[in-house]
Structure 1
Amino acid sequence: MILFHNSILKLDYSPATDILDVGYPDLHDYMLSEIKHSIDILIDTVKNYDVKKVILDSSRTVSSVSSEESREIAVYLASGLMKTRVQKVARVQSPSSDIEERAQGNIRHINESIQLPFQLQNFTSKEVAIEWLKA
């Protein structure tokens, strides 16, 4: 069931599997404040529904922001998820090598600077990511 949908973010929740499917937003510098606001809505939704498993689908994400701005959004999202009871986050990779290289750098930065209380793994396919979340 769709819990929230705007031009930036779509939150599709499956109560049977307790998986929240999130289409990772396109990143454009003129939208950064709206993206952060949408992440706040995502975090509130995770808290309100006590979601334990999240899939972040980056397979269609477009990015035109700097590395620093991309990292800022990734850290903002990870910090927000730390304040919830999420146990597993599966990230579906982007087919764009540029976006994926930046995302991997962001993940390394987060793992080095923040002790994440949840498991985080990358996947090339959504089906495999969902199987990992269900396990």
Structure 2
Amino acid sequence: MILHRDYIIQLDYNPATDILQVDYPDLQSAQLSEVRHSLTLMVEAIRNYDVKKLLLDASSTSINVSHEESRELTSKLAADLASTRIKKLARVQPINLRDEARAQENIKDLHKAGLLPYQLQTFATRAEALNWLTRD
């Protein structure tokens, strides 16, 4: 069931599996405020539907923002998700290895800061991510 759809993001929720699937939006400096707003809508949907499992698919995401902007966005999203009842977050990594290295550095910083009270795993494919999310 589609909870929200716009030109930035689509929130596809399956109540039977309690999994919200989201294609992570492209990150362009000119659209960063819209992306922030869309991610806020995603967190609100997670809270309103009491979602426990989230799949963020960044496999086709293009990242054209500074390292600092990326880190700030990641930190805000992690903190916002920590205020929900999310238990598991599965990431599908971007194809671009530079973008994935940046993401892994951000995730490492979040772990060090203790900002990840939920399980977080990164996968090469959506199928692997869904498999992990459906296991209890």
Q: TM-score range by the shorter chain?
A: over 0.9
5 Å-filtered alignment, 1:37-76, equals 37-76=37-76
| Separation of aligned partners in 1, 2:115 and 2:67 | 22
Q: Residue by residue, what CA displacement relative to the aligned partner does 1:39-93 show, whole Å, maximum 9, x if unpaired?
A: 1100100000000000000001011101111111111111110010000000001
State the superposition RMSD in angstroms. 0.8
Match of 1:84 in 2: 84
Which segments of structure 1 move beyond 6 Å, counting only runs of 4 or more? none
Q: What is the TM-score when the length of structure 1 is the normalising length?
A: 0.97
Q: Give 2:80's aligned amino acid.
A: G
- AA paired with 1:108? K
Which residue matches 2:11?
11
Corresponding letter in the other structure for 1:17: T
Q: TM-score, normalised by structure 2?
A: 0.96
Say how many residue pairs are matched.
135
State how far apart, in whole Å, the 2-side matches of 1:61 and 1:26 are.
Answer: 5
Instruction: After TM superposition, give the deviation of residue 131 of structure 1 in Å.
Output: 0.8
